[in-house]
Amino acid sequence: MSKFNTLLFDLDGTLTDSQEGIINCMRCAVEKMGYDMPEDTQKFLGPPLYQSFAEFLGMNEEQVNEAVKIFRERYSTVGLFENRVYDGISEMLQRLKNDGLRLMVATSKPRDYAVRILERFGLLPFFEVVGGAELDGTRNYKHEVIEYVLEKAGITDRSGVLMIGDRKQDVLGAHKTGLKCMGILWGYGSYEELTEAGTDLIAKTPKEAADMLSA
């Protein structure tokens, strides 16, 4: 029997495969800013936008803000729907919901975009709370989003809460807020990345995750 009663899910790389939309919008912003797109595009999948532009391209604050603006101009109309739900996700969520677990989303993506994506793909009804970043750049890091979700859900006892995600940011954000984390391997992160970050559990498929977490 699972000891967790509340599950916080990452969105990109965990519930949906959003790689196409993110990379297309990233390339648009990078090229318009006069930079060359790095060969390793996978590193853009997971970290907050502001961090990616600064860390991977060396942009200053003014450039970062402009690049984010360009990214979002395309993403808000086209990019967010260059996306698909991973096989087995709906079945996993339905099973966990039927078992009485509280399901929530904690993503570094702006909350407005997250809600639109979940609604578009029929996943929104599964979730009690959807937490994400704000478009002005506040609540940008995973630990900040997690804190927001816990507050919105009225959760004070964190012992029964589990974060579920595919990148080291999910693991580190969970641990910073006192939560355990399940790393999943159907997304963008590797087994090595997740274990090096100190993930507490590993699941290879949505079905395996449901098997491990069903009450």
Domain boundaries, the chain: 6-17+84-213, 19-81
Residues 61, 194: Cα–Cα separation, whole Å: 30
pLDDT digits (tens, 9 = 90+) for 88-114: 999 999 999 999 999 999 999 999 999
Write down the architecture of domain 6-17+84-213 according to CATH: 3-Layer(aba) Sandwich (3.40)
Q: Is 69 exposed, middle or buried (0-12, 13-18, 19+ CB in 10 A)?
A: exposed
pLDDT digits (tens, 9 = 90+) for 156-172: 999 999 999 999 999 99
Strands 201-203 and 180-184: parallel
Residue 10 is among the residues annotated as catalytic for this protein: yes
CATH code of domain 19-81: 1.10.150.240
Name the active-site residue from 10, 17, 166, 170.
10
Contact 89, 123 (CB under 8 A): yes
- Residue from 54, 56, 49, 41 nearest 71 by CA: 49
Work out the average pLDDT over 175-203.
Answer: 97
Tokens at 62, concatenated = 């003014």
